[in-house]
Amino acid sequence: MQPYGVRDVETLLRLPRSTIRALIAAGFVSPTRGPRGAWRFSFQDLIVLRTAQALVAANVPRRRITKSMSELRRRLPESMPLSGLSIGAVGSRVVVREGASRWRADSGQYVLDFEGDPAQGALSVIERQNAKAAPSGATEWFERGLALERTEPDAAIDAYQRAIAAEPASLDAHINLGRLLHETRRFAAAERAYQEAIKACGRDSVLLYNLGVLLDDMQRTVEAVVAYEGALAGDPGFADCHYNLALAYEKLARPKEALRHMARYRVLLRQRSK
């Protein structure tokens, strides 16, 4: 099976890039690097990433999560099994069901369903909700948005907006809202969403980076450069941002700056590969 890129993980698991980076930094997964230094995730990485994020959200202690993820990775198949997988918490243990069989790893109380088309190598994660109870807070609306992104993007956008209304500083909701508006080519709305997010959450590097990507797609390269530079001011080690900034400077016929950021991008990749 071909490995998954960061964009695949964002689409399949509905995880913002900031969360993916945080889970990698925490050591829950160690993706490989592709020819150009991009992260490449295995099928096991996808399951470990989503399960780890869910357990973190459920306030399970990190030591317990780390132990569970180690066991989970050891037992997972290399690709999506024909029978599918279901992962759920029973008491203080994570129970993994694969067809008629099931096995456990100590982790905490959380339930996830994994569904996918093995022929397509696809994977989606659906968190179980109480169908009778409407979301009542930022977390519930955010989780509703995650569940709806793939099938009902307009409803997902509404859910993220409701999450932000309930908690204006909900960074992940802001990031997902802007990204989804961007992906559905509502560029003006996406730009407003990112600007409002920066006002509410501060000059977060991921927000500024995403704004830069949006402005790049809108052919507003000079403004994209400003956003990328702002992202790097908060996170100088943001390799993807250095790469995009190098390309932007190249478009602006500023070769010295382009070479400087491309060189920095390559240095960061070498450091990560050690």
Over its C-alpha atoms, the chain yields an Rg (Å, rounded) of 19
Mean pLDDT along residues 169-198: 93
pLDDT (tens digit per residue) in 63-76: 666 666 666 656 55
Buried b (16+ CB within 10 A) or exposed e, 134-163: ebeebbbbbbbbbbbbeeebeebbbbbebb
Which one, of 26, 36, 29, lies nearest residue 9 by Cα? 29
Does the pLDDT of residue 43 top 80, yes or no? Answer: no
Residue 82: per-residue pLDDT: 36
Does the pLDDT of residue 2 top 70, yes or no? Answer: no
Which one, of 54, 73, 62, lies nearest residue 13 by Cα? 54
Are 118 and 98 a contacting pair, CB within 8 Å?
A: no
Residue 162: per-residue pLDDT: 93
Domain 6-127: state its class.
Answer: mainly alpha
Helix ranges, 76-204 (H): 138-148, 153-166, 171-183, 187-201
* Domain segments of the chain as ranges: 6-127, 138-273
End-to-end CA distance of the chain: give it in Å, rounded: 26
**Distance between CA atoms of residues 168 and 201, nearest Å:** 8
Residue 77: per-residue pLDDT: 53
Least confident of 27-31, 54-58, 224-228: 54-58
Q: What is the pTM of this model?
A: 0.56
Mean pLDDT along residues 124-149: 65
Residue 29, classed as helix, strand or coil, is: coil
Residue 51, classed as helix, strand or coil, is: helix
Residue 112: per-residue pLDDT: 36
Residue 219: per-residue pLDDT: 94
Neighbours of 58 (CB within 10 A): 14
pLDDT (tens digit per residue) in 47-63: 777 776 666 666 666 66
CATH topology of domain 138-273: 1.25.40
Instruction: For residue 111, list its beta bridge partners.
Output: 88
Q: How many CA atoms lie within 13 A of 266 on its CB side?
A: 7
pLDDT (tens digit per residue) in 75-123: 555 544 434 455 554 444 555 555 444 555 433 222 334 333 333 333 3
**Distance between CA atoms of residues 187 and 189, nearest Å:** 5
Task: Look at the alpha carbons of 4, 6, 8, 14 in this order and tell me if their dihedral is positive or negative.
Answer: positive
**Distance between CA atoms of residues 125 and 49, nearest Å:** 11
Neighbours of 255 (CB within 10 A): 11
